[in-house]
Amino acid sequence: MVVLAKGELEQIALPAVQRAAPPLAAVPEVDLALAAGGDGGRAGAARAVARACEEHGFFKVTGHGVPAPLLARVEAAAAAFFALPQQEKEKAAAPGGGSPFGYASKRIGGNGDLGWVEYLLLGVGAAGAAALPGAPLSAAPAGASPCSFRDLLDEYVAAVRRMTCTVLELMAEGLGLEDTGALARLVLAGDSDSMLRVNHYPPRPEEPGRLTGFGEHTDPQIISVLRSNDTAGLEISLRDGTWVAVPADADSFFVNVGDALQVLTNGRFRSVRHRVMVSSARPRVSLIFFGGPPPRQRLAPLPGLLREGGRRRYRDFTWREYKTSAYRTRLADNRLGNFEFD
């Protein structure tokens, strides 16, 4: 249960949008199983991925190869974790000192954003084991399989990272890059700054109306790969600023283009503004893998993307610089604005 101090509910309720967003009519979709086959399937998938990244910065992935039993185990373990007594969950809270990692409830980031959500945020460098505050994560939460929640999350991240790299290769192919491993390598690097977020949006059966679970924002990283249980809530903003609801699909993953990828493609791919609204009688549980580059990675247009005489849209900066700046902003801010050439 999300516990609110007096007055906080009003603050969370304020950004609620009352009118329901219409569903996204045709969710762009890429079948990785088809892409793995011959017969031009790969080239077709690469083109479809690039088109979706240009148009929406968002698409659905099917045929992803992440085993369904693993997804079911992770989902059950996450539900069991969030069902623990509040003081147990708090044992996994961020240790302080500015670290964003650990359990938190309602507060998103460090700059005053609130949402109807509780979550775990974990650092998951490519070298392996999730960097997390230990206690309740290392113990098997009630109802979970014998291996610990933490081991399970590591297994999940390994599988999702593999799939993410396939998607990044397709993006590179769709962009026509000679070096088709250029994007995937950033996420596979030993010091890749990747993260996993496990979100729980508690239901609100007693209060009709839509509440902001996670306010509108773009993700700073290269790519975000999301999976949720069968509960709606995710909405994306189209190019013209219209909000549309993404129908839930527990068998698929959803991919967001992040700000860093927008910069690496010199604006050809666009990072998608998205949010999560809560109105359901059912809890929503989602897991998001954020594929980030190493801190010292320079973010600049990838070789081959700047045609002769082409203009760079962003000034030179590293991922560390961008992340530091992003973490000082409010959720809804346009974070790339400060890095654009006039």
Distance CA 119, CA 133 (A): 13
The token pair at 119 is 């979550």
CB of 217 or CB of 273, closer to ligand GA4: 217
Least distance to ligand GA4, CB of residue 332, Å: 9
The token pair at 44 is 């077709």
Least distance to ligand GA4, CB of residue 288, Å: 7
CB of 73 or CB of 200, closer to ligand GA4: 200
Residue 313 CA from chain centroid, whole number:
24
Binding mask 17-56 for ligand GA4 (x = CB under 6 A): ----------------------------------------
| 257 interacts with ligand GA4 by CB under 6 A | no
331, 217 in Cβ contact below 8 A?
yes
| 196 interacts with ligand GA4 by CB under 6 A | no
18, 120 in Cβ contact below 8 A?
no
136, 89 in Cβ contact below 8 A?
yes
DSSP for 300-315, please give it: -PPTTSS-TTPPPSB-
Q: Which of 81, 101, 243, 290 binds ligand GA4 (CB under 6 A)?
A: 290
CA atoms within 13 A on the CB side of 214: 27
Chain positions 117 to 176 lying near ligand GA4, rule: CB under 6 A, are 121
Residue 324, SS3? helix
59, 28 in Cβ contact below 8 A?
yes
Number of residues that bind ligand GA4 (CB under 6 A): 17
Phi, psi for 224 (deg, rounded to 5)? -125, 135
Chain positions 54 to 113 lying near ligand GA4, rule: CB under 6 A, are 100, 108-109, 111, 113
CA atoms within 13 A on the CB side of 193: 18
Phi, psi for 256 (deg, rounded to 5)? -110, 135
Q: Which of 75, 173, 219, 259 binds ligand GA4 (CB under 6 A)?
A: 219
| 197 interacts with ligand GA4 by CB under 6 A | yes
| 220 interacts with ligand GA4 by CB under 6 A | yes
CB of 35 or CB of 168, closer to ligand GA4: 168
CB of 31 or CB of 219, closer to ligand GA4: 219
CB of 86 or CB of 111, closer to ligand GA4: 111
Binding site for ligand GA4 (CB under 6 A): 100, 108-109, 111, 113, 121, 195, 197, 217, 219-220, 290, 326-327, 329-331
